[in-house]
Structure 1
C-alpha cells in the first residue's frame, strides 16, 4: 500500500481533532442515536480507532469501549492546553451528524495552506540541487534576474524562509499542523 492510500491513526494526545467516543452513561437524557460504519478501523490498547464519513466530512475517532457507535454516544473532551481544538472537532462532528452541514476545519487557513505548499515545493527543489533563484523562478514564477539584483530582491528572503519552513516540516514539524490553537497563544 502506498503512503498516500494508508490510513493514519494519530493518538488524541498528538492530534486534538481525533474524537473520543464513550458509551452514553448517566441520566437518561434526550440524545440522538446514530450508527457509524467505519471506512477503516484499527484496534489498540486505547480502544478502537475508526475513520468514517458523514456526508462529505471525514472524521477520525477512538471508541473507548472498543466498538463503533451504534446508538447514543458521548464525546469526551480532555481538559488540557488543546481543549479548544478538541471542542472545535466535537462541534464539527455535531454539525455534520445533527444538522447535515459541515463546519470548516479552521486549523489551516487558505493562506497557510498555500505557504505550506510553497515550503514543501521549495525544500523538494533545494534537496534536488536547485538554487534559491531557480526556486523563485519555478515555485513563484519569478522572472530571471541578474545576481546583483537577486541579492536585494524581497523574493529572495521569501524563498529562503519557505525553504527553511519546508526543512522544518520534513524534520518533524508537520505534527504542529495538527494543532489549531497553539497553547502559547490561547
Structure 2
C-alpha cells in the first residue's frame, strides 16, 4: 500500500531538475520505476538497495527519463524530507543507508500489544484474558486484578488500539521530531 505524499513524510518528492544544474552528474538514470503506481500526485515507486526501501514520488508533470531534483517544502516536515533524501542519495551511491527510525523498539512492541489487545477484545476476550496473553498468566495471577497495574495497562492498550484503528495509524507515517 502506498500512502499519500502529504501523509508519508519519508517519501522523496522528485521534480524537474533546474536547467542551471549540470545534467551529466544527475543520478536519475539509477532509478528504476519498478512496480510503479500512478495517480493524480504522480508516479509512486520504491527503491530497494538490498536492505532498505526508499519511497519515491515523481510528481505529476515530470516526464520520465529527465534529470531530477528532490523537492523539500519549507514546512514543519522539511527535516523529515531531508532525511529521506539523504537515504535516497546514499542508496544511489552504494553507501550504507541508515534505517528509517520513525519508531523505537519500545514503540513497535507497544503497537504490537495494542493490536493484540484490540484483536482479543473484538473477539470477545476479557481484559484479564488479554493481559494474560500479552503479559503472561503467571504475572497476571501474581497481582490482585482490581488494583493491578496490568489491568490499567491492558485497558489503555485496548483504548489506544481502537484509536489507531479509527485513523490514528496515520501518525506512524510521520517521523519523530528531534529537538
1:157: how far off?
Answer: 1.2
CA offset digits 1:63-85 (Å, max 9, x no partner): 124555x5642111112221221
Choose which of 114, 118, 121 in structure 2 pairs with 1:123.
Answer: 118
Out of 118-127 and 46-55, give the one that drifted further.
46-55
Cross-structure match for 1:25? 18
Cross-structure match for 2:157? 162
Where is the helix percentage greater, Structure 1 or Structure 2? 2
Structure 2 length as normaliser, TM-score?
Answer: 0.86
1:51: how far off?
Answer: 2.4
- Describe how 1:126-141 pairs up with structure 2 within 5 A: 126-141=121-136
Structure 1 length as normaliser, TM-score?
Answer: 0.83
Q: Quick one: distance in 1 between partners of 2:63 and 2:51? A: 23
Cross-structure match for 1:107? 102
CA offset digits 1:18-74 (Å, max 9, x no partner): 111123223234744232223311222222121231222212211124555x56421
Q: Quick one: distance in 2 between partners of 1:84 and 1:142? A: 44
Structure 1 gap segments, 5+ residues each: 1-7
Which structure has the higher relative contact order (CA within 8 Å, separation 6+)? 2
Deviating above 6 A after TM superposition, structure 1's stretches of 4 or more consecutive aligned residues are none
1:11: how far off?
Answer: 1.7
Aligned residues: 175
Q: What's the C-alpha RMSD, in Å, of the aligned pairs? A: 2.2
Would the aligned equivalents of 1:31 and 1:72 in 2 still touch at CA under 8 Å? no
Structure 2 gap segments, 5+ residues each: none
Cross-structure match for 1:4? none
Would the aligned equivalents of 2:114 and 2:158 in 1 still touch at CA under 8 Å? yes
Cross-structure match for 1:3? none
Q: Quick one: distance in 2 between partners of 1:67 and 1:153? A: 61
Out of 70-79 and 126-135, give the one that drifted further.
70-79
